[in-house]
Structure formats: structure tokens, C-alpha cells
Amino acid sequence: MAAATTCKLPRTDAHFSVGHGFQDDCISGTGTIQGYMIFVDFSDAQSPASESVKDLRDLLVPGAAKWYQTASYGQLELNITADTSKFYRMPKSAASYRWEEGFSAEQHLSYIQDALDAYTSNGARAPPAETDILYIATTRNNDKMTRSLGSSFSVSTRNGKLVSRRAVTFGADPYISWGYKAVNHETGHSMCLPDYYPNTPGVLLYTVDTTLATSEGSIKVLDATPGSNGCGDDNGAKPLNDGTLSMNGKKSFEDSDWGVKVTLIDDKNDQFSIEVQYS
């Protein structure tokens, strides 16, 4: 059997490459991550009087910190200080950022710097103290920005004052579906982790291509049940949710182009035994 190190695919220059090798500018996945969070609203997405900044902070921060502590077995602490004094009004409307159309790094940085301009009253007050990650959360009342984004760059004010090594900008998705896990997901990108999502129990087969950027197919699931409609008629948009090998479903997968067949032999006590045949 080959040594584990010989099986490691090296990291490439692709955005959030899934290969091995730590980049110096990534936030460390151990120790303490220091963060600072501010909250913003917009002329066309104003925070209602009934909305509490502190309630939003309580939704996002404590659960995320506890999740990292548990997942890291105590090796990672997420320490986020939040400004819960007010919503800072952004200088442009939410619609003008055209959030749903996709952001370049330059557009993302411009949005972040707009938020810093709002926070500092265009330089009249000091920016946040230098930190690992700057978090910018929006009001719940914002249907113009439905997804959250993590930056792959450091952030400075427009006059050159360094604020953070990375930034995370939240849309409405933490309030609609993800809750505090949106903080964990986007903070993971600050550690240069690629996108990972859950799957159903069983043996999941997938390919890894370190030359592709995250979300472009760097990790691609091999569907053990191709052509199916997923787990039911109402799940047609999720054809891969039954893509795993299982003793109660599809037990083998063959790729003739590669000359490989993988068969699930047993799954007693959640310990999976597989057989791999090469032709």
C-alpha cells in the first residue's frame, strides 16, 4: 500500500483549490480567530423599527462559535465582537449592487469599502481595529441580496488603513435558511476551504480536480443512481441526493472509461467495506 503522502494532490493556483498545502495568507484553522461584525441597511431595504441588531447578533455569533469549538475538538475559537449599536446606512441602494448577478473581487471590495465608509461616516471616525475577519451583516428586510460571500483578499479602507485579512458579507440567507451555519461556511472560506455540502448516508464516490476553482467542479459527485429523480417526485431538482452506494439501494458503480468498478460489500455498524476492481 502506498504511503498516504503519495496520494496527496498538491494545491494549485485555482481559486480555493482543494489540493493539499497551506497558503500563508489563509486564516488558521486552529487557535483563535478574531472577528468584528457590523450591521447595515439600505434606502430600499430599511431595517424596520421592530428589528433588533442584538437579536441578529445572537442568531449569528454564539451558535457559530460553539459549532467550531465542537467540530475542532476545542482546537479553534471564533471570537467575534459585534457592534450592536445601530444599522449603518449604506451609501447606495441594495438593488444598485446587483448582488444576484455575481460579483468580481473588485465589486465585492467596493461593497465592503462602502460599508466601511458608512461605519466611519466617510472618515469622520476611526475604522474598526485591525482584525482577522470583518463581518458585514444586512437587515432581514433585504430581498435584493439572498446569498452570502467570503472574500479571498484583505480589506483596507479607501484611504489605505488595513482593517482585516479577510471579509464575509452576509445576504438574507442566514435568516431564511442557514442560520448561524452561514457564519461557519463563509468563515471556512477565510481558511481557504472550498465549498462542502452534506450528502445522504452511504458511500459517496467523487472525483477531485485541484486545477479547478471552487464551485467549478473541483469536487464532482459520481451519481450511483443516474437518471433517477432523487428521493421523490418533489425532489427533481436534487438528482444526486440518492447518489451514494448503499446496501438498501444501488450497491455498485462502474466507469468503463476509467476501467474501474466499485462495489459496496457490507455496512455493518456504519463501517463500510468496498471492493474496487480494475480492468
Residues 6+ apart with CB under 8 A from 244: 199, 200, 201, 202, 203, 204, 224
Looking at the structure, do residues 237 and 150 belong to the same domain, yes or no? Answer: no
Looking at the structure, do residues 258 and 184 belong to the same domain, yes or no? Answer: no
Which domain range does residue 44 map to? 31-190
16 domain-assigned? no
Looking at the structure, do residues 50 and 149 belong to the same domain, yes or no? Answer: yes
9 domain-assigned? no
| Maximum distance among all Cα pairs of the chain, rounded to whole angstroms | 70
CB atoms within 10 A of CB 100: 12
What pLDDT does residue 245 have?
79
What pLDDT does residue 65 have?
98
Tell me which residue of 152, 262, 264, 274 sits closest to 207, measured CA to CA: 262
Out of 147, 166, 190, a domain closes at 190
8 domain-assigned? no
Out of 145, 162, 190, a domain closes at 190
Looking at the structure, do residues 143 and 261 belong to the same domain, yes or no? Answer: no
Looking at the structure, do residues 89 and 224 belong to the same domain, yes or no? Answer: no
What pLDDT does residue 199 have?
55
What pLDDT does residue 233 have?
46
- Could you give the number of structural domains in the chain? 2
Out of 190, 214, 234, a domain closes at 190
Looking at the structure, do residues 227 and 122 belong to the same domain, yes or no? Answer: no
Q: CB–CB of 163/116 below 8 Å?
A: yes
184 domain-assigned? yes
120 domain-assigned? yes
What pLDDT does residue 197 have?
60
Looking at the structure, do residues 174 and 267 belong to the same domain, yes or no? Answer: no
What pLDDT does residue 209 have?
84
What pLDDT does residue 138 have?
98
26 domain-assigned? no
What pLDDT does residue 247 have?
82
pLDDT in tens, the chain (279 residues): 556 666 777 878 776 677 777 666 889 999 999 999 999 999 999 999 999 999 999 999 999 999 999 999 999 999 999 999 999 999 999 999 998 887 788 999 999 999 999 999 998 999 999 999 999 999 999 999 989 999 989 999 999 999 999 999 999 999 999 999 999 999 999 998 877 665 567 888 888 888 888 777 788 888 887 776 555 444 344 566 677 878 878 889 898 888 899 999 988 887 889 999 998
Looking at the structure, do residues 127 and 180 belong to the same domain, yes or no? Answer: yes
Looking at the structure, do residues 147 and 226 belong to the same domain, yes or no? Answer: no
What pLDDT does residue 258 have?
82
Indicate which CATH number applies to the domain containing 158. Answer: 3.40.390
Residues 6+ apart with CB under 8 A from 73: none
Cell 471564533 belongs to residue: 78
219 domain-assigned? yes
What pLDDT does residue 236 have?
43
What pLDDT does residue 62 have?
98
Rounded to 5 degrees, what are φ and ψ at 127? Answer: -75, 175
Looking at the structure, do residues 53 and 177 belong to the same domain, yes or no? Answer: yes
60 domain-assigned? yes
Looking at the structure, do residues 128 and 179 belong to the same domain, yes or no? Answer: yes
Looking at the structure, do residues 38 and 166 belong to the same domain, yes or no? Answer: yes
